[in-house]
Structure 1
Amino acid sequence: MPIVPGTHVLYTIQPGDTLYGIANRTGASLQDLIRQNALYPPITESDLIFPGWAVLIRLPGMTEHSAVLHQVAPGDTLYRIAERYSVGLDMLAALNRLEQPDILSVAQLIYIPAIVYEIEEGDTLYRISRRFGIPLTELMRANRSRPGLSPDVIFPGYRLILPLPSSTNIVVFQPLPGSRIRSGQPLVGAARAFEANVLYQVRDAANRVVVREQPVTASEGAPAFGRFETELRFNQPPSAPTGTLLVYTRSPRDGSIQDLVEVPVLF
């Protein structure tokens, strides 16, 4: 599964920019920049780019920790950035430790809870959205203004931004959607939860409970967002090759499930 490690930055082309200048400024490979954004015929003439296009740039020498960053462009607001990547506004502010979320600086880097996927031969956007549990509308919105992307035609080598599974108050960092899990698999995320209490379980595609509902305590309780981390310990083996990790909270009043995040997984 071609999830690409490393740090990627989404940059909006400005008047006067050239591909060579962008590559030289960021240290990125010019050929990789062209291939990963489909900056070639029939999408565009060789070396021709336009202000307002968004290009994904992989920064060199940063493979140890994977991250997706959005470089603030003129006119950007945190609300617009959060809407683009289908993440809650408060969550995005908390993940970036923004004390004044209403004030952003041009060229400021905003961390986005997302991964980068490189398209392979035979891929379609519909299949990618199904595999990673991301609505096609959200996938397209996260990659809007990018050349070389349409619902009908995609190119091998093109890199897509895929938002991580989240709700208003919970985001799951690990396991990655569509990945294979086993007993002992780390579960990592962040949540804004009453008394810092987060719950999780795993069910296979036949609705067999593989991991019974278990609690994990976040590092901070509401109104703050806290990090949580534990291990998924299987209570019984799965009876199907696919399933779903469910992460959520329960209402302190009636016990109903709230802020449900569903992560598709393989066994």
Structure 2
Amino acid sequence: MPIVSGMHFVYTVQPGDTLFSIARRFGSSVADIESANALYPPFTDPGLIFPGQVLIVTRPGTNQTSQVIAPGDNLYRLAQRYSTTVDLLFGINPQLADPGLIYVNDQLLIPAFVYQVETGDTLNKIASQFGMPLSDVLKANEQRPGFSPDVIYPGYRFLIPLPSSANIVVFSPFPGTQITRGTKLAGFARAFEGAILYKIADANGTTVTNEAPIQASEGGPAFGSYSIPIKFDRNPTAQTGELWVYARSANDGSIIDLVKVRVLF
């Protein structure tokens, strides 16, 4: 499954930009930007870009996706785009002092990863393999050059929102990827005293990991980071399953803020 490794930037083309200036700014290459965004015939003349187009720009580095703030952007619009909440975006970007104050060219961490289309893919197939609504994929890729809900091309890259709830987001493992004992489970959470939980079940209903604790670096009302190695209490009996990350209500112990991540074994 071709999830693209590296440091990704979601950049809105501004007047005066060229592919060369964008590639130089972010440490990428013109050829990579052209391939990732279908900037080639018959879709467009070589090197032709227009203000307002949203590009994915990738360079080698830690797996992370950042939104480069453009004129008119705000946290509400970004939350809508990536199917998350303003609180979560604000909480995972501690450099922000006020959710209402973001500035052009700021780089904000966003809950998304990048997938590269391969032969035989369709948008429905991509959404299904990551366990998310097609509408979420469509919203995340609005204003992308070369983007069509009907026809997609090998080599084109899509932004895929990460699974999240109002107070929890899972950055690792990526949905639809294989996990084993020791795979890193990581993300951000806002919970009382930073206490959240996880468990894993396979497609046959076998509990692979019993409910187990996770301790975030901070307790609510702040968002804290978390990172632990996944444990297995039993061997999986199927090739697919779900990882659940959640909290429990202090009132009645029920599951709240549930995030489900489709996984492979």
Same fold? TM cut 0.5:
yes
What letter corresponds to residue 10 of structure 2 in structure 1?
L
Please name the residue that 2:202 is paired with: 204
What letter corresponds to residue 78 of structure 2 in structure 1?
I
Deviations 1:29-58 (A, max 9, x none): 111111110012232223222211111111
Q: Does 1:70 align with 2:62?
A: no
2:133 equivalent among 129, 135, 140: 135
3-state SS in 1 of match to 2:253: coil
3-state SS in 1 of match to 2:28: coil
2:97 equivalent among 99, 116, 123: 99
Please name the residue that 1:181 is paired with: 179
1:244 equivalent among 238, 242, 264: 242
Give the superposition deviation at 1:95: 1.1
The answer on whether the counterparts of 2:188 and 2:216 sit within 8 Å (CA) in structure 1 is: yes
3-state SS in 2 of match to 1:87: coil
What letter corresponds to residue 43 of structure 1 in structure 2?
F
Give the superposition deviation at 1:15: 2.1
Partner Cα separation in structure 1 for residue 234 and residue 116 of structure 2: 34
What letter corresponds to residue 185 of structure 2 in structure 1?
L
Question: How does 1:76-225 map onto structure 2 within 5 Å?
Answer: 76-97=73-94, 98-225=96-223
Please name the residue that 1:2 is paired with: 2
Partner Cα separation in structure 1 for residue 22 and residue 221 of structure 2: 40
Q: Considering only aligned residues, what root-mean-square deviation do their CA atoms show, in Å? A: 1.4
3-state SS in 2 of match to 1:212: strand
Deviations 1:101-154 (A, max 9, x none): 211111111111221111111111111111112211111111110011112111
Give the superposition deviation at 1:16: 2.5
TM-score, reference length from structure 1? 0.94
Distance of aligned partners of 1:232 and 1:21 in 2 relative to their CA distance in 1, 3 Å threshold: closer
Please name the residue that 1:13 is paired with: 13
Give 5+ residue unaligned stretches, structure 1. Answer: none
Please name the residue that 1:45 is paired with: 45
3-state SS in 1 of match to 2:178: coil
Partner Cα separation in structure 2 for residue 211 and residue 26 of structure 1: 41
Partner Cα separation in structure 1 for residue 57 and residue 47 of structure 2: 16
Give 5+ residue unaligned stretches, structure 2. Answer: none
Partner Cα separation in structure 2 for residue 45 and residue 246 of structure 1: 46
Partner Cα separation in structure 2 for residue 94 and residue 27 of structure 1: 28
Give the superposition deviation at 1:19: 2.2
What letter corresponds to residue 36 of structure 1 in structure 2?
A
